[in-house]
Amino acid sequence: MFLGFVWGVGDTVTTVLAAHVTGSVAGELNPLVRTLLEADPAVAILLKGGVAVVACVVLVAAREQVTDVPGWRVWFLGMIAVGTLIVAQNLSVVFVASY
């Protein structure tokens, strides 16, 4: 669930915040999300949030199979670390653009 929180909520909120503060969506690498942010940020929030919810539900439903995979903890910690770095990068854009 923490993975979904970091990727889903953290990335979504900081992406929208960075786009709002900078006035540009050029920093978003995903072309679909970039297009949605330009058209209607609420749809981008729903898309990213929906993907996070689906991923969390699938991971919880398949918990037994996931924990049988060798190295699953390392993979999850790696994904959480990458998600945290993305959130930190988005926040750094917000802070730099604010000054």
Under 8 Å between Cβ of 6 and 80: yes
Q: Evaluate if residue 88 carries a pLDDT over 90.
A: yes
- Dist CA 15 CA 93 (whole Å): 10
Number of domains making up the chain: 1
The Cα-based distances of 80 to 7, 41, 50, 73, 91 in angstroms read 8, 25, 18, 10, 16
Q: What is the pTM of this model?
A: 0.80
Cα torsion for 49, 31, 14, 77, to the nearest 10°?
Answer: 70
Q: What is the pLDDT of residue 72?
A: 92
pLDDT tens by residue, 2-27: 777 777 888 888 988 998 899 888 88
Q: Evaluate if residue 51 carries a pLDDT over 70.
A: yes
Mean pLDDT of the residues in the chain:
88
Q: Could you list the residue range(s) of the whole structural domain that residue 49 is in? A: 2-98
